[in-house]
Structure 1
Amino acid sequence: MNLTPNSKVIIQGFCEFISPMQIAQMKAYGTNLIAGVNPGCGGNTLHDLPIFDLVEEATEQYGIIDTTILNVYPYEVLDAALEAIASGIRQIVIISPGVPPLDMVQLLRTAEATETLIIGPNSPGIIVPGKILLGTQPSEFYTPGSVAILSRSTTLTYEIARELTQAGVGQSISVSIGSDAIVGSSFMQWLQILDEDEATEAIVLVGQPGGGSEEAAARYIAEVIDTPVIGYIAGKEAPRGKHWRQTGTLAAVIGRDSDFGTAKNKLAAFTEAEIPIAERPSQIPELLKKVTKITH
């Protein structure tokens, strides 16, 4: 994982999932955003970025590129991601929501074979406070520190960052893995990364209804993870069978337990794994300080 101010970053596509203001915010934050790729627009400048028709052309100009941010229409994500992988890019942030599930299956097979880290789809991206912003997270809610935020949500991710910042608790990194039914990297992958991260002393894991990723993460935390983890599960009052966005679309499988994918099931898994659970976002800083003794 290469997430430093020197990391070379490009954007593929300029559709409505990211705004000129957010692109300007990334550049102002110090992200080394070097170019954009938009077929048919090569040779032009957009948002103060030189535009290429192909990713390959950008790599010929700038050498190895660390990360690409995909901001294309959902049905274009697979082609854009495969083009990036073929050009040697090994970190891909997918902002676009609603990527076709079979496209994601194909992409994940290629990513696994090439050791490519995929964040999203339907993700606001990653921020390492004070160092780099990749995506659409509002940087003003963050401050450097030692608490990692790992989330499936979008807005809840930075709502919790704001709660931490207001309580004087800084963050080492904030990652939204995405809230589509199939996402590129799992809670477990990121828990392993964060458990080995010297800058991270505690992790806040944020879940929501749909699928079984939180339950799997709870078991993994109990068995493998040494870094203290605080849990928060949104949507406790959501009616059974109702899911957020695309997260629950694969949960409607014949033979599943009636509580599969519900906040109730996720909370039970966290409780069984003895993971402290916040009742609401405003409780997280207090619980974090109590359990981990972190004060900054």
Structure 2
Amino acid sequence: MAILVDENTKVLVQGITGGFGGRHAGLSLDYGTQLVAGVTPGKGGQFFEHNGAKVPIFDTVAEAAKETGATASAIFVPPPFAADAILEAVDAELELAVAITEGIPVMDMMKVKSIMAEGCKTRLIGPNCPGLVTPGHGEGSHGGCRIGIAPGHIHKRGKVGIVSRSGTLTYEAVWQVSQVGEGQSTCVGIGGDPINGTSHLDIVKMFNDDEETEAIILIGEIGGDAEVEAGRWIKDNCKKPVAAFIAGATAPPGRRMGHAGAIVGGEDDTAQAKKRILAECGLVVAETPADMGRSLMEAWGK
């Protein structure tokens, strides 16, 4: 089953004619993603061409969705315009919008969150995120769905769900899961910004309900209380083993780190406090990124 996307998901790319968006649109096509449309205002009627594929470009998301049946969007739009791009996907009532863009102004995201709170049909992943991958069943896991910038070739289909604030640690967890002989159901990078669309808890609940997912890796960072919120829910409700890693153990107190959301604000915001609370909630907590695969197998009893 997997969550959010699978090999049948039809995807459009907002910003497909930009260098970054175009490059990753091509990689998604190579992976086997059903990338059916691109959107760049003023370039409707043109095509994005890659290795023999011709993807039609539309002026608006609504037009692209209507003509192609796309239900998910990858957003590679520059920061000053990215919030409007998210809202365009919302107005078109897409099921999923994945905002890869980093550096969207906080006030813009406050506006987006306010609008999306009013009976919105669209789920937002990100912004400032690597996106998500549901590996396929084919050779090299091709034939699945890749939305965003994750390296598709390291994924393989399996039973471990991964949710992370960090992009690079998502890839490290994927690699370690594959190295211990397991695979992934879906991998979701939720992004590191302080205002995002989907939380650790949201994804953990989906994994808990997913028949294919048998174990979960949760990767967090200093700043905020999202990981603690998820851990306490896991303690009382989750039916599946969970391993965790919290980045930022050596961060100076109160210091803004690489991610916009990584600002220590109180006693429970530090890496050590989060690790302690998650362990108390029954999660197996890895001490270093290199231990994530081992911690998963310990939690899983394998």
With the length of structure 2 as denominator, give the TM-score of the two structures. 0.89
Contact 2:93 2:122 in 1 (8 A): no
1:288–1:60 CA distance, 2 compared to 1 (3 A): closer
Task: Report if the CA contact (8 A) 1:206-1:231 is conserved.
Answer: yes
Q: Distance in 1 between matches of 2:127 and 2:17?
A: 15
| 1:31-75 deviation digits (Å, cap 9, x = unpaired) | 11011111122222234422111112213322x421011110122
Does 2:128 align with 1:122? yes
What CA distance in whole angstroms lies between the structure 1 residues aligned with 2:192 and 2:99?
A: 11
Counterparts of residues 217-232 of structure 1 (less than 5 Å): 217-232=230-245
Which residue type is aligned with residue 261 of structure 2? T
Q: Which residue of 1 aligns with 2:149?
A: 136
2:116 aligned residue: 111
Aligned equivalent of 2:299: 291
Residue 57 of structure 2 corresponds to 51
What is the Cα deviation at residue 286 of structure 1? 2.3
1:205 to 204, 218, 239: 218
C-alpha contact (below 8 Å) 1:2/1:66 kept by paired residues = no
1:217–1:15 distance in 2 versus 1, CA, 3 Å = farther
Match of 2:181 in 1: 168
Identity of aligned residues (%): 35
- Following the alignment from structure 1 to structure 2, what is the Cα–Cα distance between the partners of residues 25 and 245? 25
For the pair 1:81 / 2:95, whether they are aligned, the reply is no
Residues 16 and 245 from structure 1, CA distance in 2 versus in 1: closer, same or farther, beyond 3 angstroms? farther
- The answer to whether structure 1 residue 246 and structure 2 residue 260 are counterparts is yes
Aligned to 1:279: 287
- More displaced 10-residue stretch of structure 1: 132-141 or 107-116: 107-116
How far is 1:139 from its partner?
1.0
TM-score by length of 1: 0.90
Contact 2:16 2:48 in 1 (8 A): no
Change (3 A) 1:212 1:17: farther
CA contact 1:68–1:89 (8 Å) conserved in 2? yes
Secondary structure of 1:79's counterpart equals helix
1:91 corresponds to 2:86: no
**Alpha-carbon separation, structure 2, partners of 1:16 and 1:235:** 33
**Most deviating of 158-167 and 20-29:** 20-29
The structure 1 residue matched to 2:278, chosen from 270, 283, 288, is: 270
Aligned residues: CA RMSD: 1.9
Cα distance in structure 2, aligned partners of 1:66 and 1:14: 16
Deviation at 1:12, TM superposition (A): 0.6
Comparing 73-82 and 106-115, the one that deviates more: 106-115
C-alpha distance 272-172 of structure 1, shift in aligned 2 (>3 A): same
Name the CA distance, whole Å, in 2 between partners of 1:204 and 1:67.
24
Distance 1:123 1:3, change over 3 A: same
Give secondary structure in 2 for the equivalent of 1:42: coil
CA contact (8 A) 1:210 1:244 kept: no
For the structure 1 residues 164 and 173, does the alpha-carbon distance in structure 2 shift closer, same or farther, using more than 3 Å as the test?
Answer: same
Q: Return the offset for 1:27.
A: 0.7
CA contact (8 A) 1:147 1:202 kept: yes
Contact 1:142 1:170 in 2 (8 A): yes
Shift of 1:165: 0.9
Cα separation, 1, equivalents of 2:78 and 2:107: 15
State the AA in 2 paired with 1:144: R
SS of aligned partner of 1:114: coil
Task: Give, in whole Å, the separation in 1 of the partners of 2:100 and 2:20.
Answer: 8
Matched, 1:11 2:13: yes
- The residue matched to 1:103 in structure 2 has which SS? helix
In the alignment, what sits opposite 1:234? 247
Amino acid at match of 1:293: G
Tell me the matched-pair count: 287
Q: Which amino acid aligns with 2:167?
A: T
2:201 alignment counterpart: 188
Task: Work out whether residues 242 and 299 of structure 2, in 8 Å CA contact, stay in contact via their aligned partners in 1.
Answer: no
When residues 236 and 139 of structure 1 are mapped into structure 2, their CA distance, relative to the original with a 3 A threshold, is same
Q: 1:195 to 1:136 in 2, by over 3 A?
A: same
User: 2:227 aligned with 1:214, yes or no?
Assistant: yes
